Amino acid sequence: MKEAVKTAPKIGMISLGCPKALVDSERILTQLRSEGYELSGQYNDADVVIVNTCGFLDSAKEESLDAIGTAMKQNGRVIVTGCMGKEPELIMNKFPDVLAVTGAHQYEQVVNAVHDAVPPLHDPFMDLVPAEGLKLTPRHYAYLKISEGCNNRCTFCIIPSLRGDLVSRPIHHVIAEAENLAKAGVKEILVISQDTSAYGVDLKYQEFGWKGKRWATKFQDMCEALGELGIWVRMHYVYPYPHVDKVIPLMNERKILPYIDIPFQHAHPEVLKLMRRPAHQEKTVERIRNWRAMCPDLTIRSSFIVGHPGETEEHFQFMMDWLEDVQLDRVGAFKYEPVSGAKSNEIELQIPQEVKEERFERFMAVQQKISAAKLQQKVGKTINVIIDEIGEDGGADARSEGDAPEIDGKVFLRDAGHLKQGDIIRATIEDADDYDLYGVPA
């Protein structure tokens, strides 16, 4: 048996882009590992390298082409997958010796391309894959993808043309995967999709059985079911549709985390119309106030685009005032990038780069002030945190219920050497800066 393991073909992989692409990479690796392939951390040691690309922005395409170039140089046997697979000619023109190009979610084609490049060794006695699959995230948290594609047609976005319309996973599949993750020791699940609140629309909210109960393939049922697992569950990419109101009480009861990630992208109705954003309505401010009344600890995270075509100074100022009024907890901003193929590139008023830069700086300065004031209010309080990493100095990097990994802030703890990654503890906050908190285990 040792012989077989030693000679098993090795796969190298680089995964670029968003968490959804990361989940695709995990699925591909899980499948290949179950067939006896080994994983290699180095290109020159691998029999074939898979590059999972991102094609969302032109800058992401550049990065993907660079990654393919590096893999070609260091290994030479390369399979390309992911969003850029939609434009095979772009890849083949530059790298004619690439072995295969497949698109996003074409797991089977990727795996077949690997089989063609280097056939698997068959060993029925090997059981190499844990029930939860292989994860590229640290052991204590995992992304859970509930659907592919999107039914919206935002003018700045080409994702629907890359990934197609919404295809939801049936609810019992989603819950079973979450359960396996929890059994394997995952302490925090991050629910992702392109439009989480639209989950199940394509399946007409079809019901399935799980643990003796019927569950609809629907946002609210999913939140309730995941809330029974007893671990942290965090919701990303939710739109402020009225039915979202129903899950806020679950957040207040801590069935799921009191955290909601809503990509507003703008606040002015005219710009939202130009963007063709879903669920945009004047009632949003009122809705947020109601949510906060229902769940006072709610953290609202959002992202915005500054300098979208058609955005006048007045529109921009409206968004800044809105921000001051609504006081979101966590905010990211992007300067508009004219992705090729995006409808918004056809809007007449395109914003010069220096105006975008200037608006971006002003936007971030306002948000920084809001964030600092909000975090200051936490000083002296004792809150729940999850441990991400123990440092050599006896401290630890942790996150509060209001901080998603990678995109939000951190809680830096002192005197935490006795803890371990994934522990969820109470911590007392001693200090705060613009984006992070500092404290000590309670």
Q: Which residues of the chain form contacts with ligand SF4 (CB under 6 A)?
A: 150, 152-154, 157, 159-160, 194-195
CB 357 within 8 Å of CB 316: no
Q: Cβ closer to ligand SF4: 153 or 211?
A: 153
- Minimum Å gap between C-beta 154 and ligand SF4 is 3
- Minimum Å gap between C-beta 166 and ligand SF4 is 9
Q: Cβ closer to ligand SF4: 64 or 196?
A: 196
Integer Cα distance of 52 and 23 in angstroms = 11
Alpha-carbon torsion (128, 184, 141, 428), positive or negative: negative
Cβ-proximal residues to 106 (8 Å cutoff; 6+ apart), any chain: 81, 85
Q: Cβ closer to ligand SF4: 195 or 408?
A: 195
- Minimum Å gap between C-beta 153 and ligand SF4 is 6
Q: Are strands 188-192 and 232-235 parallel, antiparallel or unpaired?
A: parallel
The pair of structure tokens assigned to 99 is 């072995």
Which residues pair with residue 78 across a beta bridge? 49
- Minimum Å gap between C-beta 119 and ligand SF4 is 37
- Minimum Å gap between C-beta 150 and ligand SF4 is 3
Q: Cβ closer to ligand SF4: 140 or 308?
A: 308
- Minimum Å gap between C-beta 316 and ligand SF4 is 20
- Minimum Å gap between C-beta 163 and ligand SF4 is 8
Q: Cβ closer to ligand SF4: 210 or 219?
A: 219
| Largest Cα span, the chain | 70
Q: Cβ closer to ligand SF4: 150 or 235?
A: 150
**CA–CA distance from 273 to each of 176, 210, 240, 262 (Å)?**
39, 41, 16, 17
- Minimum Å gap between C-beta 106 and ligand SF4 is 19
- Minimum Å gap between C-beta 156 and ligand SF4 is 7
Integer Cα distance of 411 and 398 in angstroms = 5
- Minimum Å gap between C-beta 197 and ligand SF4 is 10
Integer Cα distance of 298 and 300 in angstroms = 6
Amino acid (1-letter code) at residue 403: D
CB 68 within 8 Å of CB 80: yes
Q: Cβ closer to ligand SF4: 266 or 315?
A: 266
> DSSP readout, 347-388?
SS-PPPHHHHHHHHHHHHHHHHHHHHHHHHTTTT-EEEEEEE
Q: Cβ closer to ligand SF4: 194 or 384?
A: 194
Which residues pair with residue 305 across a beta bridge? 334
The DSSP output letter for 303 is E
Integer Cα distance of 232 and 146 in angstroms = 16
Best CA proximity match to 11, nearest among 51, 67, 66 = 51
Q: Cβ closer to ligand SF4: 112 or 345?
A: 345
Q: Cβ closer to ligand SF4: 150 or 244?
A: 150
Rg of the chain over all Cα atoms, to the nearest angstrom: 23
Q: Are strands 382-390 and 396-400 parallel, antiparallel or unpaired?
A: antiparallel
Integer Cα distance of 303 and 308 in angstroms = 13
Q: Are strands 396-400 and 411-413 parallel, antiparallel or unpaired?
A: antiparallel
